[in-house]
Structure 1
C-alpha cells in the first residue's frame, strides 16, 4: 500500500469547522416524499470525441465473430441480471471449466455513434490490473452487437446492498471507501478518469470486497475535460458548469457514494434535473437529518472534504487513506481477511 505523506496531517484537521456550512437537506429536497436512493440513467452529451479526451481506437482485444452462436460455443449465456442504457448483463458460465462470469451484451444501434466508448473500455480494461477493479475475460463483436465477458460478482452491486439494508455501518463503509480509493488512486496516477463512480458500478465479489466496473465513460485526461456525462446524482459541480474538470470529479462522486452508504439517500434530490443540478452546483451539504445523529464527526469531515465545491481543495485519491476516519484500516489487512 502507498506510504502516507506527512503533509496530509495538515490537510486533515477535523477540528476545523471551515466548509461545513449548509442548509437542511429537507429544505433543499422537500419535493420528494422518499429519501431512498434511486437508480438513474447515465447521461452522455454528444457522441463525438471531445477535446482532451484520450481514447483508444478500435480495440485489438475484441474478437470479431459472425453471430451470437459463435460466443455461445465458449459461454453458456443465462438470465439477465442487470440492465444499462444500451446493454443487458447476463449470468454466464465458461464452458471449458464452468467458471461463473457476467456477460454484457451491447446493441451497437442503440449506441448511436458512441461505439468508440465500448472499444475504449475493452482496451483499457485489458491493460488494467488492480484488486479492486473488475477483470475482463473476453470480448466479441458481431455486426450488430458487442459481447463482453467479466468476472462474476456473486453479491451483486453496492446499490442493491444499500437498498436492502437501508444503510451501511461506519466500519464497513470505511473499508469500502478505502477500496474505491485504492482503485481511483491507481487510475488517477495513470491520468485516467472514470466519470461514473456510483453504487451501481461497485460490484461485490465478496460481502464487503468491492470492484469498480463500467469503464464506458473512462478516458485518459490530456487536459481540462468538458463533456457533460455521468449519472446526475453523482456528478461533480465542475462537470455541470462546463468550465473544465479533471480526475478530481471522481473524488466528488466518491463523496456522494460515501454519503449514500451512511445515510441511505443522496445528498441532493429534486423532482427535475435542472433543480438537481442547481443544488449540486451550490454544493451546500448538511448533516442535520436524523440519520446523521449517530454518524461520527470524522466520517462527516471526510464527506465534506471529498465534496468540496472547489476541486483544487479536494484531496487526491492517494491522500484519502491518511484521513483519521480511514486510518485504522489498510488495504493489506482487508485483502488478507
Structure 2
C-alpha cells in the first residue's frame, strides 16, 4: 500500500482490527464485520465518530454502505456491505479486452458517486485505485468506493486545510497547505483516469522532493508511445480535472457532461496489452509500500510546517482526525487484519 500523509481510521483499523465474514441467521445474507477493540481507539474517538457520521449519511449504489453498528464493553462492530469482486487493477489485468470506453464507464460511476457525496457536503479526500472495489465477480459488476477514514463533512465554520491523502493522488493545493474544497476529489479522479488509460501514474520520481515539485506545479505528460492511441477527448477530459487552479478545475457535474463521459468520443480500440503491462510493472502488490518514501513525506510536511496544522479555527489541542504521525500500512496479513467466518443474530 502507498503511504498516507496523515494517520487515518483505516490504518488504525488495519493495525488492530479483524474483518469477519458473517452470515445473518434470519436472512442468510453475507456481510463483512469490522471488529475493532476499543483499546485501540483510545485517543482516536474523533476519527471513529467522523467515519461513522459520514457512513450513516450515505446511501448510493456505488458506495460501500454501513449497515449496522454493535458494541460491547470491549469491541465496536461495524457491519458493512460485503463487496467481493476484488480490486480495480487486478480485474483490468485479468481482462483480455479493455478499451477507453471501459475506462470511461468506470470513471462515470466514480463521478456519479462522488457528485452524490459532494451534494451532501462530504469530501472523500482519499480517492485512489486501492479504494475502488468491484461489487461482485460478475463481468459487468459495478465499481464501489470504499474507505471513508479521511472523509470530511463540510461545515460553514470549518475550512479544510489539513494535509490528507496519498501523495500520488493528492491535489497541489493540499500539498501546498492551502485551504481546499471538493475540488480535491476531482483532481484525484483525474489522476485515476490517467492511470486507467496508460497503466502508470502521472507523477513519479525516485527523488521525493522532485515528486512533490511535479505535483505542486501540476507537471505531467501524455508520453509516447503509451498515449499515441488514446483519443484527444480523453486527454482533454484529464486536463480539465488535473487543472492546477481548483477554481478552474471541472466539478463532478461538469465532468459528467464531458463528451468522453456523456458522449461517444471514448474509443473502442483494445488497449489491454499496453495498459495491463504497465499496471503489472508499476502497481505490483510488492511495490505498494515502495511507491513513496514515507520519511521524505514527513520531511516535506515539516518543511512546510504542516506537522501541527489544524482544520478550521486554531485550537490548542490536536483534534483533527488527520492529525498525527505518518504511518505506512502493511499488507493485510502483516498488519493483523484477517478474514474469518462467523454468524450474528
**Equivalent residue, structure 2, for 1:288:** 223
Whether 1:262 aligns to 2:208 is no
Partner of 1:292: helix, strand, or coil?
Answer: coil
Counterparts of residues 17-166 of structure 1 (less than 5 Å): 39-44=1-6, 84=14, 87=17, 89-110=19-40, 113-143=43-73, 145-162=75-92, 164=94
- What is the deviation of 1:271? 3.0
Segments of structure 1 that go 5 or more residues without pairing to the other structure are: 1-38, 48-82, 330-337
Residues 125/236 of structure 1: CA separation in 2 closer, same or farther (3 Å cut): same
- What is the deviation of 1:130? 1.4
- Whether the 8 Å CA contact 1:168–1:262 is kept in 2: the answer is no
- What is the deviation of 1:209? 0.7
- Whether the 8 Å CA contact 2:191–2:202 is kept in 1: the answer is yes
- Whether the 8 Å CA contact 1:172–1:208 is kept in 2: the answer is no
- Whether the 8 Å CA contact 1:170–1:295 is kept in 2: the answer is yes
- What is the deviation of 1:116? 1.9
**Equivalent residue, structure 2, for 1:324:** 259
**Equivalent residue, structure 2, for 1:182:** 112
Q: TM-score w.r.t. structure 2 length?
A: 0.67
**Equivalent residue, structure 1, for 2:248:** 313
**Equivalent residue, structure 1, for 2:143:** 210
- What is the deviation of 1:261? 1.2
Residues 86/297 of structure 1: CA separation in 2 closer, same or farther (3 Å cut): farther
- What is the deviation of 1:164? 4.5
Partner of 2:60: helix, strand, or coil?
Answer: coil
- What is the deviation of 1:44? 1.6
Partner of 2:108: helix, strand, or coil?
Answer: helix
Residues 296/127 of structure 1: CA separation in 2 closer, same or farther (3 Å cut): same
Aligned residue among 89, 98, 101 for 1:171: 101
Segments of structure 2 that go 5 or more residues without pairing to the other structure are: 265-345
Q: When you count strand as a share of all residues, which structure comes out higher? A: 1
Higher relative contact order (CA 8 A, sep 6+): 2
Residues 98/127 of structure 1: CA separation in 2 closer, same or farther (3 Å cut): same
CA–CA separation in structure 2 for the residues paired with 1:46 and 1:148: 16
- What is the deviation of 1:274? 3.6
Residues 271/105 of structure 1: CA separation in 2 closer, same or farther (3 Å cut): farther
Partner of 2:61: helix, strand, or coil?
Answer: coil
Deviations 1:260-279 (A, max 9, x none): 11111211123354432222
Work out the number of aligned pairs and report it: 256
CA–CA separation in structure 1 for the residues paired with 2:16 and 2:219: 33
- Whether the 8 Å CA contact 2:54–2:122 is kept in 1: the answer is no
